[in-house]
Each structure stands twice: as C-alpha cells, then as structure tokens.
Amino acid sequence: MSEIVTITAIATGGDGVGRLADGRAVFVPRAVPGERIRLRDGVRLHKKFARAELAEIVAAGPGGAGGAGGAGGARVAASCPHYVSDRCGGCQLQHLAYDAQLAAKRAIVGDALRRIGKLDVPDPEIVEAVEEWRYRAKISLAVENRGGRPKAVGFHPYDQSLRVFPLVDCHITDFRLMALWRELRPRFDLLPSRLTRLTLRLDRDGRRHVIAESAGEPWLDAERLRAALPHGDSVICWWQPVDGAARVVAGPATGFPATAFEQVHPEMGLVARRWAVEQLGDLRGGVVWDLYGGIGDTAVQLAARGAQVVSVDADEAAIEWARGRDSERPIRFIAAKAEDVLPTLPDPNAVIVNPPRGGLHWNVTLRLTSQPVARVVYISCDPATLARDLHRLSVNYGLAAVRAFDLFPQTAHVETVAVLEAA
C-alpha cells in the first residue's frame, strides 16, 4: 500500500510539500495544502527529501485559506485542457483558486526572507493581478524536430523535460498572440530548418513579432510566411541563430528590441515599478542609479520625479531603443554590465536594481555595502536570490518595506520589491 501524507504548504516551484513517515520532506506536483493524499508507487527518494506523484486525494483540505503554506482547501478544476491532458509545465498552480495562489506566493516569499535572508518578517502583502488570464505579452515555445523540420511545437510536460507536446492554446497568453499562433501552425514549412525555439511577442504598439531561433541555415522564407498570414502586415519576423544576435528578416525594422527583457505582464509590471519608484521618496535633483534597467521603463519614471538618472544594462539593443524614448529630463543610458561600470558613475543618492534571476553580481553588492546609499530598492523575480542578497546587504542596511506583486497568475513565480535603508 502506497504512503499517505498530509500536504502542508506550497514550495518554491509550485509543488505541494508533505512529510514521509521517515521524516523526509516530499514534493508532490498538483497537490493542495490541507489535503491528505495517497502517493503513487515509485516515490523517488533522495538523501534529505523525496519526490512523488499524487495517486488519490484521500481527504480534501478545509475550505478557505489556511494551512502552514497559507493556501488550504482551495482545489479547483483547471480551465486549460493542456494542464490536465498534457501535464503542461508552463503553469504550476491552475489547480488552486486564485486567492489560494496569492496566499501561497506570500508564504513562498516570507519563507525565503526568514530562512535564507535571516530576517524576522511576516509574509508580505501581495498585490493581486490586474488580469488572471490572457496577460502574457510573450510566449516561448519549445521545438521537437524530425528530419530538420518541426514535429511538435509547444511546451514540455512538467515530468518529461525532453518531450514536447503540440500547443493548441495557452490560456495565460494574450489573445492576439494566440491568434497569430493559430495562423502559424499550418505554415511550419515556412519556418527555418533545425528550429530550436519559437517566440511570439507583442510590442508597445500592438505589433506582433515572430522570433525563430535555429541551428540551421538563415531564415529564407520569412517574407513568404509574412505574406501568407491573414494579418501579416502587423507581423515582424526575426531570425536568431543559436549563440548569435537576432535580426529582422521580414517586416519593418521598428527599432523595438523584440529579444530584450520586458515583463510578460506589462500592466502589472507598471504597477510594481510605480510602487518601487515611490519608495525612493523625493528625488528632485538627486542622482539615481537604475541598474539592470532594460528598455528604460524605470528610468523614465525616475526622471519624471526630477531625478538625474543613470541607467545601465548589458543589452545593447535595449539601451539603443531606450535612448530614443521621450523623457521629462535627460537620462544617461549606458550599455554595459553594471558591475563593470560602477566606479565610473557619479555617487548616487538612491539606487534601484532589477537584476536577472541569478540576483546581484558580487561586485554590485560590495559597492553598495562599502559605500552605503541612503535608500536602495530591489526588484526581484526570485525570492531565494533576493533573500540571499538581502542577507549580504544587511551589514549596512535594514529592511524598511517589502511587497509582493502577482505578475504571473497560474504559475508559482512571484515578483517582490524590497526597500532598504542605510543603517
């Protein structure tokens, strides 16, 4: 008889967490805090933890929020057929009611801040999403090839990372991109050979971008594809060789860097940035560093509040586009790695950082701790690296405020903004 466990929380990554009889933590996808479940045979045992699959719900969790993970008794039927039939790994929490998703994300951030950051803080407030569905302005699809041509284009099942199932519809992606996807699906023969990834993206003006990444010859049929699409005049095709730079091969070269980083939930990204900038207080006449600034969204907000902004990002295309943006005050944009140019920048009155998932480069941390700034705002997409960096910065800074933002409904990802003040 397989083991029965009680799920007590949602872990980073979205799995439910329980305890085996031997005390090891067991991680179970698609489980809900408060439920008692029977594990499928074949539990994978590791030294300090285990992984298992849900075989049967023995007892449902209590209604409403609760449980150690803050999201008890909230199972719902997933609306996306791929979530069930294909075990899609793109979303992790569609089986949770939305209020339970929010509670689980608060708990994930709070646990990381306490356990990794060594901070004595409660679970933070979370700002719910403007839209729970159809919010993604970008979707990246995996490709399985046969004979150099796409056999399946879609996502990986969460438990089979090497397999790709064909995507029909992604319920968290903008309708305009899914309309483009329906138009593309019968025309795979016009995509480049040895395709490795296909990305669809909306830009600020509603134009749709198709970014084909391949290990083969250049994309020679891009213009034919664009002409064959029902609304191809609004489509821009990019070819990106593996380990190479992307370039426009069909359609107008708008200048918008379709390969540059931008929040996939634009409305919620704006909400989070606005709150982050407000936490810096009065910026009139002060110098503010905007590190890992991307296409300049935060820099423009800072300049509107009267700051002298220096915005740094390693993506040259993003910086080039940012330099052409309208701003109430001049902004100094620098295309470079933040850790390489800090010694050349004017001393700041405040700093805002929005690093990639890996967190702050060690040299950035050293600069902020060796020469403390009155206030630092840290925008993070990964609670674990945020907590690690806050612990490193705690030698000179105290945590003044923290707030989570749900930029990624139906998934286990969460955006967090932490406000630090020099001690």
Residue 127 belongs to a domain: no
In this predicted structure, which of 157-166, 180-189, 246-255 has the lowest mean pLDDT? 246-255
| 336 and 369, same domain (yes or no) | yes
Confidence at 68, pLDDT banded by 50, 70, 90: very low
Residue 167 has pLDDT above 60, yes or no: yes
Same domain, 404 and 277: yes
Residue 106 domain flag: no
Print the domain residue range for 381.
266-422
Q: Which of 75, 90, 107 is the last residue of a domain?
A: 75
Residue type, 153: V
The answer to the question of residue 320 being in a domain is yes
Q: Are 12 and 383 in contact (CB under 8 A)?
A: yes
Q: What CATH code is carried by the domain that includes residue 11?
A: 2.40.50.140
State the CATH number of the domain containing residue 361.
3.40.50.150
What integer is the mean pLDDT of 123-129?
98
Same domain, 274 and 195: no
Which of 50, 75, 100 corresponds to the end of one domain? 75
Looking at residue 73, its pLDDT comes to: 53
Instruction: Please tell me the predicted confidence (pLDDT) of residue 66.
Output: 37
Asked whether residue 256 is domain-assigned, the answer is: no
Gap between the Cα atoms of 73 and 255, Å rounded: 49
**Distance (Å, rounded) from C-alpha 261 to C-alpha 220?**
26
Rounded distance, CA 33 to CA 390, Å? 29
Write down which residue in 45, 75, 105 finishes a domain. Answer: 75
The predicted-structure confidence for 179-232, as pLDDT tens digits, reads as follows: 999 999 999 999 999 999 999 999 988 899 999 999 988 999 999 999 999 999
For residue 128, pLDDT beyond 80: yes
In this model, does residue 113 exceed pLDDT 90? yes
List the structure tokens of 270: 């704006």
Q: Average pLDDT, whole number, for the chain?
A: 94
What is the rounded end-to-end Cα distance, in angstroms, of the chain?
57
- Is the residue at 182 inside a domain? yes
Would residue 289 count as lying in a domain? yes
Q: Are residues 234 and 284 in the same domain?
A: no
Residue type, 353: V
Q: Tell me if 10 is assigned to some domain.
A: yes
Examine the pLDDT at 64 and tell me if it is beyond 80: no
> Does 416 lie in the same domain as 322?
yes
pLDDT reading at 312 higher than 60: yes
CB atoms within 10 A of CB 200: 25
Separation of alpha carbons 414 and 40, rounded Å: 29
Three-state helix/strand/coil letters over 216-235: CCCCCCHHHHHHHCCCHHHE
210/200 Cα distance (integer angstroms): 5
47 or 70, greater pLDDT = 47
170 and 272 within one domain: no
347 and 213 share a domain?
Answer: no
- Are residues 274 and 245 part of one domain? no
Q: Is the pLDDT of residue 55 over 50?
A: yes
- With respect to residue 144, please indicate whether it lies within any of the assigned structural domains: yes
What pLDDT digit, counting tens, does each position of 130-151 carry? 999 999 999 999 999 988 888 9
What is the structure's pLDDT at 255?
Answer: 81
Model confidence at 72: pLDDT above 60? no
Per-residue pLDDT band for 384 (boundaries 50, 70, 90) equals very high
Q: Are residues 296 and 195 in the same domain?
A: no
Distance, CA of 172 to CA of 228 (rounded, Å): 27
Tokens at 226, concatenated: 């664009």
Band of pLDDT at residue 1, cut at 50, 70 and 90: low
- Domain identity same for 236 and 287: no
How many domains would you assign to the chain?
Answer: 3
Q: What is the pLDDT of residue 148?
A: 84
The DSSP H or E segment spanning 85 is helix 81-85
Q: What share of the chain is helix, strand, coil (3-state, %, to 5)?
A: 25, 30, 45
